[in-house]
Structure 1
Amino acid sequence: MKHNLKASFFLLMAVLIACTSLTANPGKANAAESLDLNAESAILVDAETGKILYAKQPDIKLPPASMTKMMTEYLVLEAINEGQISWDTTTQISDYPYEISASNISSGVGLTQDKDYTVRELYEAMAIISDNGTTIALAELIAGSEGEFVKMMNEKAEEMGLPDYQFVNATGLSNSDLGENHPEGTEPDANDLLSAESAALLAYHLVNDYPEALDISSKMTTEFEGKTLENLNWMLPWDNVNFKQFGFEGVDGLKTGWTDNAGYCFTGTAERDGRRLISVVMKTESKEARFEETAKLLDYGFSQFENKEVFPEGYQKEDQTSLPVSKGKQDEVEIASNAAIQAPIKNGEEESYDVTLNIDEEKLNEDGELVAPLEKGEKIGTMELTYKGEADYGYITGEKQAQTVDVVTTAAVEKANWFSLSMSAVGNFFSNIFSSVSDTVKGWF
């Protein structure tokens, strides 16, 4: 009997332990908490709204290596867009990029002097195999010298609102690797610096302002002077047995990076079913690891978040469905959103969102009323999506963008005629007198 009781006790304990283990392993629902990234710094961003879906020490400034070239790419594409150069513009190679292309510090394509290269040839070599010589040649073409180009890089970084940055050259190499050729105005041992957050914001501007950048970053190979150059991004849909295991559905960019100081870095981007995500991992331990950790981030973003209509067009906040109107034929007018609010929502968090109404104070008189006449659909403020949950990483831009829509009147309100306004004024006059007398009489007692 005692033996049976003892056996039953241990059986009960085993069942309880098993149940506890199952409860403690909620699976994908808590993917963020169990997302163990082997990277010093990382971030994941929704490319449409700028919403940050995940972050790990995103504000640490680290050498970004060749991810620096995303800024060079941006400035080249901007110059093309503004008509300063075209894809067919040609240039020749000066001594400095020629030396870099032949140096053992860089896996250069081996440039030739006294030969015309098109902007497209140079750009593809820069974007696809991260060539340094072609990058410098483009910088010199646009700004006259790399030193002047670096000034442009820092000015554009400030304009974009990058929170943490330092650009000292166009390539991402350490200035010490450039020797006497380090850009004028920079320190000889300086490094480019970016945080994961800044790299993601730079990528956000690149893919949204110039989506044609993805047409090139997604190319697995390109031809350059009779040689086939293979993209350093192993997450593209390779047939190559060495890279195939790293392929990730939807990946079409963006920029790898490696130096001794930076370690292995990668800014990735992928699109599935109309949703684009941007990821950054910095200081991973190997070429393979930067892609493995990126896959974790992207898989988390695509599996755990869905772009949903959180509040429909015409939505009215329950306690603020109307506003008072002065000098109108109606005393109030209903208000509502003029568009649906959509956002990337984590599974199970639909109830964690609300909206805040921001009424334009310039539309109101001193009594907090709208003043007639009012048109139907007249904008009187905005409706902003707000998050009431715990894991709020904010927005890469610091703005709400697609999470803010206009609030408008749902009907027109005509201005009352002079007789109605006069009678209303008389009524208010006697009402004020009555109130004053009433208050006085009450004071007697």
Structure 2
Amino acid sequence: MFFSLFAGAVPAKAEAALNVNADGAILVDGETGKVLYEKNADSVLGIASMTKMMTEYLLLDAVKKGKVKWTQEYTPSELVYENSQHRDLSNVPLRADGKYKIRELYEAMAIYSANAATIAIAEVIGGSETNFVKMMNAKAKELGLKDYKFVNSSGLNNRDYHGQHPQGTGAEEENVMSSRAVATLAFHLINDFPDVIKTASTPRKIFREGTDDQIKMDNWNWMLPELTYGYQGMDGLKTGTTDFAGYCFTGTATRDGKRFITVVQNAKDASGQGGYKARFDETRKMMDYAFSNYSKEELVPKHYQVKDHKAVPVIKGKENQVKIYTKSAIDMVVLNGEKKNYKPVLVLDKKKINKKGELTAPIKKGEKVGYVTIEPKNGEKVSFLTEEGQKKVQVDVVAAQDVEKANWFVLMMRGIGNFFGDVWHGISSTVKGWFK
């Protein structure tokens, strides 16, 4: 599911500038999830090891809730042991009788995309990978993803399990998602568990360092600044490659207080060939475009009063109106020079006002009476990955002062005044009618 402030097309400037060579692609603001560019973003495609972002999410969530501890030890099941011996797949070899801490399995998964280590984590959390796959699909639904299907925890094709794939899934199946769904998962992952970046940005690490089993792990994200296709500010997030999915990559980078997330699925070079370089080149296109053409701007300042709505009428109060303003500012990433193309829009809380648009005293200073959001003046589409992200570009509107409730005598006299005012108005209207 995605959320829009305005209907329309993806900005033509992005379409003209990018032309990303991939079956599916998307570029979003990492703070709000505002969509800046998309290509076939709702097409359901293979994701390969980008799957591991969901396994990471469920692990980090389990650790946060105290269900799993980083120091907890795990002894490989037969499935995990056998899978770990396949060096043609991305793996760290595990011993059948070994004991491995959850943290080192997590690092092997996040840095080296180790498949057996990933299945091990699935078994720890779900009791079995079969059960864990159910948890993955349930969490995807909970996070508001659309266009997805998880059949295993690792992103392998089920044929690589040699008949031991999760029950209820097909022997040749593979995980699939749309680019929008992948970006939404990545958005939740880095915002709900920002510490994931510390591990995802590790360029190299030794697994089981100081033992006979030590193995060097080079991060598959070759856009990390220290690696082959180094990119300034790149610090995540997950690559993926299978014959079915092609060359895929979910990237995230930060510079000058801005963070962007990109997804490419089945990326190719100019000759139509897939490859490691292709997925990073196509990612670089989107990142360069984002950092060069977008800036973070304050669209609405703190204590801003919307024109013609600087106060709201009040009934039963010592004052007959109350001034209102925004509690804080609204910042959003916008195209350079287009700050002026957005307008603030006031939305009052229908539960707080009557049919005439009046608030009822008493009112406390700082009491929320509604919110202000922003909309484009020119009709261009502004869409967000999530409702939570969209709410980051709206801010509470509060009462600027106290309005005490008037006592019974004042209310009575005010009522009498209104009564005679209405009577006099009626008489006056009648008399005027005689002379028309």
Per-residue Cα deviation, 1:205-251 (whole angstroms, up to 9, x for no partner) = 11111122111111111112321111111101226xxx1xx110011
Select which of 397, 408, 416 maps to 2:406: 416
What is the match of residue 288 of structure 1?
A: 277
Bigger RCO of structures 1 and 2 (CA < 8 A, at least 6 apart): 2
* Pair 1:320 & 2:303 matched: no
Return the alpha-carbon distance in structure 1 between the equivalents of residues 380 and 287 of structure 2: 18
What TM-score does the superposition give when structure 2 sets the normalisation length? 0.90
Return the alpha-carbon distance in structure 1 between the equivalents of residues 378 and 133 of structure 2: 41
What TM-score does the superposition give when structure 1 sets the normalisation length? 0.88
Return the alpha-carbon distance in structure 2 between the equivalents of residues 254 and 138 of structure 1: 19
Q: Which has the larger radius of gyration?
A: 1
Return the alpha-carbon distance in structure 1 between the equivalents of residues 113 and 67 of structure 2: 24
Question: Secondary structure, in 3 states, of the residue corresponding to 1:68?
Answer: helix
What is the match of residue 259 of structure 1?
A: 242
Kindly provide the amino acid, as one letter, of the partner of residue 329 in structure 2: A
* Pair 1:404 & 2:394 matched: yes
Select which of 45, 51, 73 maps to 2:56: 73
* Pair 1:36 & 2:19 matched: yes
**1:289-304 counterparts in 2 under 5 A?**
289-304=278-293
Question: Secondary structure, in 3 states, of the residue corresponding to 1:43?
Answer: strand
Return the alpha-carbon distance in structure 1 between the equivalents of residues 25 and 180 of structure 2: 8
- The more displaced of 57-66 and 427-436 is 427-436
Return the alpha-carbon distance in structure 2 between the equivalents of residues 92 and 59 of structure 1: 40
Checking the alignment, whether the CA contact within 8 Å between 2:252 and 2:260 is kept in structure 1 is yes
Return the alpha-carbon distance in structure 2 between the equivalents of residues 31 and 403 of structure 1: 21
Return the alpha-carbon distance in structure 1 between the equivalents of residues 412 and 121 of structure 2: 73
Checking the alignment, whether the CA contact within 8 Å between 1:108 and 1:133 is kept in structure 2 is yes
Kindly provide the amino acid, as one letter, of the partner of residue 255 in structure 2: R
Select which of 226, 248, 263 maps to 2:214: 226
Question: Secondary structure, in 3 states, of the residue corresponding to 1:207?
Answer: helix
Identity %: 48
Checking the alignment, whether the CA contact within 8 Å between 1:352 and 1:388 is kept in structure 2 is yes
Question: Secondary structure, in 3 states, of the residue corresponding to 2:132?
Answer: helix
Unaligned runs of 5+ in 1: 1-28
Per-residue Cα deviation, 1:267-306 (whole angstroms, up to 9, x for no partner) = 0111112222111111112110101111111111111111
Return the alpha-carbon distance in structure 1 between the equivalents of residues 408 and 333 of structure 2: 51
* Pair 1:159 & 2:142 matched: yes
Deviation at 1:415, TM superposition (A): 2.2
Per-residue Cα deviation, 1:62-96 (whole angstroms, up to 9, x for no partner) = 11000001000111111111112222111111111
Checking the alignment, whether the CA contact within 8 Å between 1:316 and 1:335 is kept in structure 2 is yes
Count of residue correspondences: 412
Checking the alignment, whether the CA contact within 8 Å between 1:105 and 1:177 is kept in structure 2 is no
Select which of 356, 360, 379 maps to 2:345: 356
- The more displaced of 183-192 and 346-355 is 183-192
**1:170-181 counterparts in 2 under 5 A?**
170-181=153-164
Return the alpha-carbon distance in structure 2 between the equivalents of residues 415 and 205 of structure 1: 45
Deviation at 1:188, TM superposition (A): 2.4
Checking the alignment, whether the CA contact within 8 Å between 1:65 and 1:172 is kept in structure 2 is yes
* Pair 1:330 & 2:319 matched: yes
What is the match of residue 334 of structure 2?
A: 345
Select which of 393, 404, 428 maps to 2:418: 428
Return the alpha-carbon distance in structure 2 between the equivalents of residues 427 and 393 of structure 1: 50
Aligned Cα RMSD in Å?
1.8
Return the alpha-carbon distance in structure 2 between the equivalents of residues 208 and 217 of structure 1: 14
Deviation at 1:434, TM superposition (A): 3.0
Per-residue Cα deviation, 1:143-190 (whole angstroms, up to 9, x for no partner) = 111000001101111111112211110011122332321101222232
Unaligned runs of 5+ in 2: 1-11, 208-212, 268-273
Select which of 38, 61, 73 maps to 1:90: 73
Select which of 164, 175, 178 maps to 1:195: 178
Checking the alignment, whether the CA contact within 8 Å between 2:205 and 2:218 is kept in structure 1 is yes
What is the match of residue 374 of structure 1?
A: 363
Kindly provide the amino acid, as one letter, of the partner of residue 393 in structure 2: Q
